[in-house]
Amino acid sequence: MRKKKKVIGLVLGLFLVLPGMAFANGTMSNTTNKGENSTENRLDQRHYQMMDKNWQEKMKQKQQKLLSFVNKYTPEKTQEWEAVIKDRNRIIEKWQSPQFAEKRQQWKKEKMAKFEGLHKQYEEGKITKEEFVKKVHGGKETGHWKIYHELKDSVKNNNHKRTAQLLNQLLTHYKKQNEIMNAAMKS
């Protein structure tokens, strides 16, 4: 059950991990300071930055771009894609609602404690940068990013077969993530 919460947190909290990766690269400093450049403040800022209207607009544009690819390369799956995206948006909206405020805060505390512990291990040389990044992600691979970028390249090169294949992989990934997020919110 706790693992499910972490998974949903990782999925919904991807925007929180990106600053963590900056730590791994050594671009951020002074993790114990609660001042302007502290980890916690940066993650709070990132959260609000990601949840503003510009972020929502960018997400909507990305979804529209995906749907345009679907309409061109796998038109038989348009309705399925629309349903999955609608469900994903509903889940994200529900997660951001006041109803889940306590759960989000608890998740954030757990995430921060885990991150700070891993970062300390990394700084002490107990784990490598690759291990740090993998553990911060909870062992989950970030293949969907790779798929999305491959998809953009495939569309650019007008490779119909590969594009259809990548869209199907991405659809499967989105469905799986929706199930994980729904399960985590119910627990």
Band the pLDDT of 15: cuts 50, 70, 90.
very low
Which residue type does 176 have? K
Exposure class string for 61-79: b at 16+ Cβ within 10 A, else e: eebeebeebbeebbeebee
Mean pLDDT over residues 162-181, rounded? 91
Q: Is the pLDDT of residue 106 over 80?
A: yes
Contacts of residue 164, defined as CB under 8 A and 6 or more positions apart, other chains included, come to: 73, 74
- How many beta carbons lie within 10 A of that of residue 1, not counting itself? 7
pLDDT mean across residues, the chain: 78
Band the pLDDT of 30: cuts 50, 70, 90.
very low
Per 3-state DSSP, the chain is made up of helix, strand and coil in percentages (nearest 5) of 80, 0, 20
